[in-house]
Amino acid sequence: MNYKNDLYYTYSEFLLETYGEKVYKIPVSISNTCPNRDGKSGWGGCIFCGDAGAGHETLSSEITPLEQFKRNSEYISRKYKANKFIVYFQDFTNTYMDADAFRSNLEQVCVENVVGIAVSTRPDCINHIYLDILKVLEEKYNVRIYLEMGLQTVNYHSLIKINRGHTLAEFIDAVGMIKGYGFEICAHLILNLPWDDEVDIIEGAKILSALKISSVKLHALYIEKNTAMAEMYENNEFKMIDLENYVNRVVSFLEYLSPDICIQRLIGRVPQENSIFANWDRSWWIIKDMIEDKMKESNTRQGAKCHYLGGAALR
């Protein structure tokens, strides 16, 4: 695969290939909890999760999704002359609600110029009821469907440590179900969880490649105030890896990742004011540049080491 930037398959390139023009993702909020907070899968949530439930860019869920979409898309249209949009149901776990409410929230944003619906959820909140609803919307409104799932790490010991409330098996199960419907899958990973090492990072790239998911969002761990993780950090129960090490991990991850998987995000933007550790006090774009510079220096690219699938020992 030949990338425009020669290093990795960018999300903007995927959007351009898919829709033939620039498409903007508009975040909206409809959910305010998840089964890992209310006792269904676990209590208290993932140890890094703050009050916003992993969302910081949305308007209040008290406003209807259609109104949220209109307000945000009008602004983006004016600023970037955008014509097409993907509505992104971002905060918390969007399939963890009554099926009729889910359908009605999604259906109201299937309006002119909306070409995709992206739904953020957990691997243990996927089943055929919700996937059937999405299939109907896809066919009725000609929108492409994207499921975004937090996995964070493939190390199932670390998944227990971060109180994730699911393990790797649920993720694999959900991917199988979603693929049966032909929807796109985006996985979210944190590449510097304190209990993971380089082997976990590489295995993460290999598992996502073997599962043939469509895209990934990479994040560096940030530590939000008033979370269980903040308390552990302040008690010196773990240390963060340094930035150089983090950059090396991202480069290794990309080398082992299939060249067909697009990178929606190389590093997350984090709200500094609410954090006690956030991206080594660097702007996200500085870290992005560091990763790209490291790849250029090492003369490497996404998929450079992706030779392990399809019976590698027989070649």
**Contacts to ligand SF4 from residues 125-154, by CB under 6 A:** 150
Among 15, 23, 54, 266, binds ligand SF4 (CB under 6 A): 54
Q: Given the structure tokens 């309006």, which residue do they identify?
A: 111
CB of 237 to ligand SF4, least distance (A): 19
Q: What is the DSSP letter of 149?
A: E
DSSP H or E run through 223: strand 223-224
Nearer to ligand SF4, 45 or 303 (CB): 45
**Lookup: tokens for 154:** 């493939």
Yes or no: say if 22 and 84 are a contact pair by the CB < 8 Å rule: yes
Helix (H, G, I), strand (E, B) or coil at 6: coil
The residue from 122, 188, 219, 249 that contacts ligand SF4 (CB under 6 A) is: 122
Q: Least distance in Å: CB of 49 to ligand SF4?
A: 3
Residue from 53, 116, 123, 268 binding ligand SF4 (CB under 6 A): 53
Size of the site for ligand SF4 (CB under 6 A): 12
Give the C-alpha separation, 135 to 172, whole Å: 20
Candidate segments 33-41, 107-115, 135-143, 217-225, binder of ligand SF4 by CB under 6 A: 33-41
Q: Least CB distance from residue 305 to ligand SF4, whole Å?
A: 30
Q: Are strands 114-121 and 84-89 parallel, antiparallel or unpaired?
A: parallel
**Is residue 131 helix, strand or coil?**
helix
- Write the single-letter amino acid at 203: E
Q: Which of 11, 69, 89, 92 binds ligand SF4 (CB under 6 A)?
A: 92
Nearer to ligand SF4, 46 or 189 (CB): 46
Q: For residue 235, count CB atoms less than 10 angstroms from its CB and return exposed for 0-12, middle for 13-18, buried for 19 or more.
A: exposed
The residues of the shown chain that bind ligand SF4, judged by CB under 6 A, are 34, 36-37, 45-46, 49, 53-54, 92-93, 122, 150
